[in-house]
Structure 1
Amino acid sequence: MRLLILVSLYLPVVVSAQPNENRAGRRQSVSKLRNQIEQLTQRAQGRVGVAATVLETGESVTLHGDEPFPMQSVYKFPIGMAVLHQVDQGKLTLTQTIRVDKSEYVSERQHSPMRDKYPNGTEASVSDLLRYAVSESDGSASDVLLRIVGGAPVVMQYLQSLGIKDIQVVNTEKEIGSDNAVQYRNWAKPTEAVALLRVLQEGRGLSKASRTHLLRLMIESPTGPKRIKGLLPAGTVVAHKTGGSGTIDGVTAATNDVGIVTMPSGQHLAIAVFVSDAKADTATREEVIAEITKVVWDTWK
């Protein structure tokens, strides 16, 4: 039985002896997948950007993948990478203690478990601040990390050193929360978000220990269970970072999720879905992300 299973798994390799036919088949498959994704996006009643690729094979699909979308808390992913890069350089340590003044806390309208737990300020290790920011999407912790790393320009220099040009980290969370327009200055193209996920998966830009640390924080994140994870089989490993804005006059500027999904084959699907300026309710916006992920999963698993 095991021999039969192995033979069935390798049958596509035999078919690849007909390259022209294979290329045509792949193009048709991608075209069909893109059409399915485009149909699913209609329910969001907004602008949806998608990029997805199987990192080991290069199979890819995009929809509005080269357009900028506001990241909101997705930007804590590159900030986290920049902090861990400085840990690798010896400029920071995971155990060092950072003073957090209550004046650094984001507004009550913004998400901050650290602020809620320590309303008068606190001291926290770099490791704890990373957990708050990346796993729990804490805006206050993210701003403290941005401060100790040297500000947004340092994060941008790090991204550019990795060849990442179409992700813009410009403002603090406090600034983003003070003016609805500011979030649009902190944007990413879905294709570039996937490119950064590839950098992380392939171990570029971080030491092995720092890469493992960041992936663990992203896997353990409790946020957005109904987005990328929503329709995937129970137990699927997903290292991801969500982002989302408030709703003003019935329009939600950002409902996002980007991540690396481990597939049954052991290969890795890097996917970014950004839902912007949408009129649909929260449940529908999250369902759109989950449904897009599922149709990609079903096509390539």
Structure 2
Amino acid sequence: MKNLLPLFFLIFTISCTEKKQEIKNKANLKAEIQNVIKDKNATIGVSILGFEKPFELNINGDKHLPMQSVFKFHIALAVLNLVDTGELNLNQKIFIKKSDLLENTWSPIREKYPNGNIELTLAEIIKYTVAQSDNNGCDILLKLIGGVQTVQDFTNSKAVKDFQIKYNEEKMHQDWNAQYENYSSTNSLVNVLKAFYNDKIVSKSSTDFLMKILIGTTTGQNKLKALLPKTAIIAHKTGSSGKNDAGLTGAENDMGIVTLPNGNHYAICVFVSNSKETEAINCKIIADISKLVYENLKDN
């Protein structure tokens, strides 16, 4: 037993040293992030959550901030839940009328089929809505499942906190202030992403389906992905309000799941809200923070 005491002491010492280094690294990372956001005329929420290896960090992580199109992730989950229960089928055809394809809104579906009167599978509409952030596709999905309350009820059933959805895309385009009623905290989002990744929100097949779509997201290439290695895998969903007549950006957002070179994962969410900065600066804030987090976690 006496011979084992030095070994126990060595293991204890190494463990304490590693813990102190982790605390120091987290403190340094937080300071670096704060350096990015200091003096910015905006409210910025940041949350990071490790999956396989415990790691948590947030700045303004509990603030309720407008999601904009990030809410399409939650909408897709609510739709896929109905696929899991058999009420919907990914291969079922959805008829889209010309009147469903509203003008003056971002809609790759409308650009491809300007006259409407087409049928797309449910899977195709989800892909348009999430990967390309199609606003008309979003509202078509909401109409299909019974509206925003269906999404709220589903997220409530999964104990999602600090999340509210009241309005669809059409309403947000009619009323600037409506976006503030569709809110989440960044802490809520990284926790939902982790639960989703671990198949605790929808079935594994639905998780795999949506993960593939998120990895293929084409919007917001100048946000979380911008400064990461080209080989980095990130499954993400963006959101953006544009500016109002007063030059205010309600939301410039991105959230996602990043796969590290060692195979571990983390969720990251950066929301830039009520910003007086330019679009380029808002997006650079997100990109700079994403790079700092990746560089800090990639070798841990």
Do the aligned partners of 2:49 and 2:191 also contact (CA within 8 Å) in 1?
no
Per the normalisation by structure 1, the TM-score is 0.91
Partner of 2:226: 230
Q: Are the equivalent residues in 2 in contact too, given 1:190–1:273 (CA < 8 A)? A: yes
Opposite residue 161 of structure 1, the aligned amino acid is S
How far, CA to CA, are the matches of 2:76 and 2:13 in structure 1? 44
Residue of structure 1 in register with 2:119 after alignment: 123
Q: Which amino acid aligns with 1:89?
A: T
Secondary structure at 1:214 match in 2: helix
What is the rounded CA distance, in whole Å, between the counterparts of 2:98 and 2:11 in structure 1?
A: 63
Consecutive unaligned residues of structure 2, counting only runs of 5 or more, are 1-9
Residue aligning to 2:3: none
| Alpha-carbon distance between aligned partners in 2 of 1:200 and 1:263, rounded to the nearest angstrom | 18
Q: Does 1:188 align with 2:170?
A: no
Give the stretch that moved more between structures: 80-89 or 149-158: 149-158
After superposing the two structures, state which structure 1 stretch, 35-44 or 280-289, moved more: 35-44
1:245 pairs, out of 235, 241, 244, with 241
Match of 1:269 in 2: 266
Assess if the C-alpha contact under 8 Å between 1:16 and 1:22 holds in 2: no
- In structure 2, the partner of 1:283 is 280
Identical columns (%): 35
Distance in 1 of aligned mates of 2:173 and 2:24:
44
What secondary structure, in the 3-state scheme, does the structure 2 residue paired with 1:181 have? helix
The partner residue of 2:50 within 40, 48, 54 is: 54
Larger radius of gyration: 2
Task: Give 1:1-301 correspondences, 5 Å limit.
Answer: 17-42=13-38, 44-108=40-104, 110-121=105-116, 122-248=118-244, 249-301=246-298
Per the normalisation by structure 2, the TM-score is 0.91
Q: Per the alignment, do residues 15 and 258 of structure 1 end up closer, same or farther by CA in structure 2, a change over 3 Å counting? A: farther
Query: Which stretch has the larger CA shift, 276-285 or 256-265?
Result: 276-285
RMSD: 1.6
Match of 1:267, as an amino acid?
Answer: N
Matched position secondary structure for 1:35: helix
| CA distance, structure 2, for counterparts of residue 15 and residue 191 of structure 1 | 34
**C-alpha displacement at 1:255, in angstroms?**
0.5
Q: What amino acid does structure 2 have at the position aligned with 1:135?
A: A
Cα distance between partner residues in 1 of 2:264 and 2:19: 21
> How many residues align structurally?
287
| Deviation for aligned residue 1:24 | 3.7
Is the contact between residue 253 and residue 271 of structure 2 (CA under 8 Å) also seen in structure 1? Answer: yes
Q: 2:190 & 2:11 partners in 1: Cα distance?
A: 29
Question: How far is 1:75 from its partner?
Answer: 0.3
CA contact (8 A) 2:160 2:188 kept: yes
Note the C-alpha offset of 1:260: 0.3
Q: 2:172, 2:179 within 8 Å by CA — same for their partners in 1?
A: yes
Q: What amino acid sits opposite 2:171 in the alignment?
A: E
The alpha-carbon distance between structure 1 residues 16 and 145, as it changes in their structure 2 partners (threshold 3 A), is: farther
Tell me, in whole angstroms, the C-alpha distance in 2 between the residues paired with 1:91 and 1:17.
57
Gaps of 5+ in 1: 1-13
1:79 maps to amino acid: I
